[in-house]
Structure 1
Amino acid sequence: MKFQVLPTRTELENYAKIVPELNPSSVLAMLRIMRASEKIKANINNVLEKQHHLSEGKLRVMILLHQHPEGVAPSFLAYRAGVTKATISVMLRRMIRDGMVYSIYDTEDGRSKKILLTCQGKNFMEQILPDHYLRISSIMKKLTDKQQDELIWLLTEISD
């Protein structure tokens, strides 16, 4: 995987002379956040792919279904997973084929469907989630609890 090349502070300071609103520290901070995100995602996704043949998108959908055992609409999954309705349709067809999820008609609105995890899908999630969350936790162990809380607050400030 290719990682972003960071500009030097000097380069950014030169650009700030042309565009005074440019803050070199802000640019460097954001680019470092983006680089860290890429590396972390690559590390985690690599393990998911190799050990479980699971893509990041499929994991997001499976986690959403795990969090909503009553089932949810495909449109909800698409929105929350950040994919198009066409993409979620393809993903769900494959997941149904693989025995991980099934669909039922919504009892309140017979025209719409709900997607639920099968027993196999639930067991799969119960098997992989502890290790997945442990892997994420081990990445963060370099920071104290206070630093982690500060990081969460800072990231929320810039992303919400």
Structure 2
Amino acid sequence: MRALRADITTLDVDAVVTAANEGLLGGGGVDGAVHRAAGPELLAACRKLGGCPTGEARITPGFRLRARFVIHAVGPVWRGGTAGEPGLLASAYRSSLALLRAAGGASIAFPAISTGIYGYPSEQAVRIAVVTLREDLVAHGPIEVVFACFDDHTLALYEKELAG
């Protein structure tokens, strides 16, 4: 696992993960960027999926992206940490890896799911992401994982967590 400051839409990996909403119909932040870069075909494919519950993920082709697939992970909205948010966030990460494996992929790039408009505290979200993915990789085998960070602050959080 490694972290880098990057535009997730430009990465050459088997799958990029987008922090989606339950409707899977695009939005702001990373989800909007992925939809714009992948082209209108992505929205059409998402409409056919009929949404996705929080804590789960869905997969579509990558269309105009370098990545073969887009994995749409629905993380929780932060409600103070007492509404099952940690478990739902961890589940979104595990579901993403399961979909990648089922599709035959070996590399994936994640954004910091739920830390944008959903308000999840970044330090807690980063810790959950790293711990959850480490456990999954030990249990199910290696996958190249990249944490694509939008800013230097998020990159520093991932670098600290990965080092510890």
Give TM class, smaller chain: under 0.3
More helix by share: 1
- TM-score of the aligned structures, taking structure 1 as reference length: 0.24
Larger radius of gyration: 1
Q: Which has the higher contact order (CA 8 A, sep 6+)?
A: 2
Per the normalisation by structure 2, the TM-score is 0.24
**Structure with the higher fraction of residues in strand conformation:** 2
